[in-house]
Amino acid sequence: MANRATREAFGETLVELANEGVNVVAVDADLAGSTTLTKLGDAYPDRFFDVGIAEQDMIGVASGLSLTGRIAFTASFAVFGVGRCYDQIRNTVCDAALNVKVCPTHSGITVGEDGATHQMLEDIGMMRALPNMRVLVPADYRAAKAAIRIAAETDGPVYVRLGRHKVPEVYDETFVGGLPFADVRRPGTDVTIAACGVEVAQALAAADLLAERGISAEVIDVFSVKPLDEDVIVGSVAKTGHIVTCEEHMVYGGMGSAVAELLAQRLPTPQAFVGMRGFGTSAPGDELIAHFGLDAAGIAAATEGLLA
């Protein structure tokens, strides 16, 4: 399968769910072409609501729809769909544990040329801190389809992080995921590399580089950041004795922090953090991944540094 962006799974999966009789609706904030929700609007006009450039209203409308028994999805760019309406997500959706799914696209540094103002790097931390919220970060198009289905099947708030950037295939059509769920994509013995989202493919490529240097890296896809699949992560680290976490997100408060909190309680382990430590800049996504050390070479270097 050709490289595809995780956002491409959004609209078409909602159409599939509607075709299957699932009571899904979607609310968008004037970005339906980019979020791909136009697909649902074209197929089911009565299930799609565009509130314009009004993200707080988007969350409010979705909350109201959820109270009528609908499974309400929301979509915008991550910097708007989380940042501009955090108060509504916190106090309306999460406090009441409403059946609202927050699924923004265009997350992370790979938004690319839109620059720092549009590169949302704090959303995982913001969402995992909220009571009642679950957080899924799919690694590829098929994992994104599974995440959206899991969100629809799970009662209560769910955050699904989707991206603009086309990413390599990690899974085949049989992938179903879970909540919690982490998947050992490559076994190893010397170090664990735990990644999420676009970083999973980079981590697998880093494992190839490390293998050439005599280092056996176990690669885990942390598909579910909240709740964590604790036994898979702890089991891997118990074997390898070291862990590197990789995310297209700030190193503060994200998946790496969640793993560190887990290991501090269950199995204290030397850990290196690959991620962002400041704002991004404007450039193509692939160039930014390399520039900020989030590519395979950067992960391999961080791993060698930890083992040294």
Domains of the chain: 4-167 (3.40.50.970), 183-307 (3.40.50.920)
- With contact defined as beta carbons under 8 Å apart, do 244 and 193 qualify? yes
What does the block give as tokens for 192? 């664990």
pLDDT of residue 235: 98
Percent of the chain, pLDDT > 90?
99
User: Taking 90 as the threshold, does the pLDDT of residue 36 lie above it?
Assistant: yes
Strand partners, 48: 26
Question: Of the residues 8, 16, 20, 55, which is catalytic?
Answer: 55
Give mean pLDDT, residues 42-59: 95
Mean pLDDT of the residues in the chain: 96
Give mean pLDDT, residues 57-64: 97
CB neighbourhood size of 82 (10 A): 23
User: What Å distances lie between residue 41 and 16, 27, 37, 236, CA to CA?
Assistant: 13, 10, 6, 44
Q: How confident is the model at residue 1 (pLDDT cuts 50, 70, 90)?
A: low
Q: How confident is the model at residue 2 (pLDDT cuts 50, 70, 90)?
A: confident
- With contact defined as beta carbons under 8 Å apart, do 101 and 136 qualify? no
Q: Give residue for tokens 């309406």.
A: 85
Active site residue 287: no
Of the candidates 134, 102, 99, the one whose C-alpha atom is nearest the C-alpha of residue 23 is 99
**Dist CA 228 CA 151 (whole Å):** 16
Strand partners, 184: 220
